Structure 1
């Protein structure tokens, strides 16, 4: 594969070369996990609410968490796209 210009880089080399992108990657993974866990456990939490006020509070907290997660994911993906475009423009 080296003759075709494709080198199999080890993860440690990739991490060393792209250390600045690591926070954005972690943020995207964290938001993805948040959405998966929220889809599985969020409905059960609201169904177990003891009063309408507890359910309403849970809905508002959930709405705020969803809004923040969307903002974080948008900023992280924008940062990764900018880094990828900058790398491709240098070549």
Structure 2
């Protein structure tokens, strides 16, 4: 396969070179999964609330979770952008 330009060790090599970016990548994937799961099943949870106070509490918890997820996604994307720009600037010099 190496003759055709396909290198099986490439993912392991990429992971070794970009080990510092792994937490940011995991954070972005986690926030994406949070939003997908929330869009699919989050409204159903609030619709099944037994009382208005339970619904209000669920809305406040959901609001806090959304705010925290936006902060985490912003920090992770900022970190990945900074790492990519730094690596790109090094290659251009």
What is the TM-score of this pair, normalised by structure 2?
Answer: 0.89
Structure 2 unmatched runs, 5+: none
Q: Which moved more, 1:38-47 or 1:8-17?
A: 8-17
Structure 1 unmatched runs, 5+: 1-5
- Counterparts of 2:15 and 2:79 in 1: how far apart (Å)? 16
Counterpart of 2:48 in structure 1 is 48
- Counterparts of 2:42 and 2:52 in 1: how far apart (Å)? 16
- Counterparts of 2:62 and 2:31 in 1: how far apart (Å)? 14
Deviations 1:25-82 (A, max 9, x none): 0000000000000001100000000000000000000000000000000000000000
How many residues are matched? 86
Aligned CA RMSD, in angstroms, stands at 1.5
Moved over 4 A (4+): 6-9
Counterpart of 2:24 in structure 1 is 24
Residue 79 (1) aligns with residue 79 (2) = yes
- Counterparts of 1:7 and 1:59 in 2: how far apart (Å)? 50
